[in-house]
Amino acid sequence: MTQSIPQVSLYEQDFALWIDDTITKLKAGKFEQLDIGNLVEEIEGLGRSDKRELRNRLNVLLAHILKRSYIDSVRDNGGWILTIREQRRRLAKLFSDSPSLKNRIPEIFDEVYQDALEDVRSEYLKIDFPDEWQFSRDVDALLNDTFWEED
């Protein structure tokens, strides 16, 4: 009685080597030799990763804009502004790499704002943060305006 030994795919054995092999096959036009199932899974994962990064960076940006705008604290203002700048830089880079992600802002904004609001409210219990975003939702404004300096 012979027992078959299950074959382990290159994808399961060595992911980095699988990537190199896939790139080589794509460049050579050897599409019939591609591991299509895993390739599709990885491409879908890349899309989810960018969307997740957008949500996370927007959450941090909104939370720190709220802190800078509504908390009167000389001690933390500089740190909040540095975080705002960093998140804006990283969002700008993300949009530079994937401009279509800008179009997702309107559809995710309210949910992300509620998450940011929950975060800052749990950290600063005595501050009355607004239930609704009080500033511009325009992507360019989010990436550039100093909302805390507006009247």
Rounded CA-CA distance 14/3 in Å is: 25
What's the pLDDT at 128? 94
* pLDDT tens-digit series, residues 37-76: 999 998 888 878 999 999 999 999 999 999 999 988 767 6
Write down the pTM of the prediction: 0.78
Instruction: Assess contact for 145 and 136: CB atoms under 8 A.
Output: yes
CA 5 to chain centre: 42
**Which single residue is written with the structure tokens 């705002």?**
84
What's the pLDDT at 10? 87
**Which single residue is written with the structure tokens 């990885």?**
42
The one-letter amino acid at 103? N
Rounded CA-CA distance 36/131 in Å is: 46
Rounded CA-CA distance 116/121 in Å is: 9
Q: Helices 36-70 and 74-97 meet at what angle, rounded to 10?
A: 150
- Residue 29 is classified by DSSP as T
- Return the structure tokens found at 95: 């949009």
What does the chain come to in residues? 151
Rounded CA-CA distance 34/18 in Å is: 10
* pLDDT tens-digit series, residues 100-139: 999 999 999 999 999 999 999 999 999 999 999 999 999 9
Percent of the chain topping pLDDT 90 = 74
